[in-house]
Amino acid sequence: MKITLLSGRIFEVDADLGFDMKVVHSNRSRRLTLRIDKKDRIAVLTIPKYCSRKKAVSFVESHQDWVLDNLRKIPEFRKFQNNEEISLFGKTYQIVHTDIRGNTRLDRKNKILYISGSEEFLHRRVKDFIKKLAHQEFEKRSKDVAEKIGKTVHNVCIKDTKSRWASCSTLNNINYSWRLALAPEYVIRYIVAHEVSHLKHQDHSAYFWALVEYLEKDANKGKEWLTENGHSLYMYK
């Protein structure tokens, strides 16, 4: 197989590894490292400046079982399905497809998310609904929490990001990943408290973390959940 480096160069590997790989060629790295990118479900090899192809290939082959074992533990990418149960802002709803046009709605009383239109587009329509709901929820929550510390949120956007769950700009604009809507309620509260705290502290100082914990008592619990289980939110593309 061939492994393509981010620089565009190619490493020829005369072995059937059984998995794809992303390779980063780093001038700052002192040794070969191998990790698993759980969001993209792919192995990532970092190669230092002075490293032969033979050594790199041998290193990967020696860790082949480790890579395969860890890849198997990651949930497969999937699509939202009819009759599937999902979590939306801490509450469980069943996705129910309906032939009634324009009937996409959230029945909070009966815990049902009705999705209308052709069933072949159900996955996209569920995503679109979640993004719309996420914007409403995160905007309200962010403004309510910001009010507690005398700050104002100017704008809230919902994005499809992989590098970070949320971000706050110096202009008091906050971005959230739509996938956070699928996380447990205490995780969502932690993320909102985290970003709102950046309205006052544009860093991660002790003062910042003290404010986060003041705004959300389960902040540490939410942070730990994202570290351990955050990748599971990426099973939906």
Whether pLDDT at 9 is above 60: no
Q: Among 211, 186, 185, which residue's Cα sits nearest to residue 198?
A: 211
CA distance 18 to 192: 40
Number of domains in the chain: 2
Whether pLDDT at 218 is above 80: yes
Examine the fold and report which residue of 35, 53, 72 is the final residue of a domain before the chain moves on: 72
pLDDT, tens digit, 9 for 90 and up, residues 175-212: 999 999 999 999 999 999 999 999 999 999 999 999 99
Whether pLDDT at 104 is above 90: yes
Sign of CA dihedral 122, 128, 132, 133: positive
Q: Are residues 231 and 138 in the same domain?
A: yes
Our measurement of the distance from residue 12's CA atom to the centroid of its chain's CA atoms, rounded to an integer in Å, reads: 32
Answer yes or no: are the C-beta atoms of 1 and 16 closer than 8 Å. yes
What is the strand order of the sheet 166-168 is part of?
155-159, 173-177, 166-168
Q: Write down the mean pLDDT value for the chain.
A: 90
CA dist 85 → 109, 113, 138 (Å): 15, 9, 22
Q: Are residues 133 and 47 in the same domain?
A: no
- Whether residue 77 is contained in a domain is answered as no
pLDDT of residue 15: 52
pLDDT, tens digit, 9 for 90 and up, residues 28-73: 888 999 998 887 888 899 999 888 888 888 898 899 999 988 888 8
Q: Are residues 138 and 226 in the same domain?
A: yes
- Whether residue 29 is contained in a domain is answered as yes
Alpha-carbon Rg of the chain, whole angstroms? 22
Q: Are residues 146 and 226 in the same domain?
A: yes
pLDDT of residue 17: 72
pLDDT of residue 219: 98
Which 8-state DSSP code applies to residue 68?
H
Whether pLDDT at 11 is above 70: no
Whether pLDDT at 133 is above 80: yes
pLDDT of residue 19: 82
- Whether residue 38 is contained in a domain is answered as yes
Q: Are residues 166 and 228 in the same domain?
A: yes
* CATH number of the CATH domain containing 223: 3.30.2010.10
Q: Are residues 67 and 128 in the same domain?
A: no
Structural domain that includes position 204: 124-235
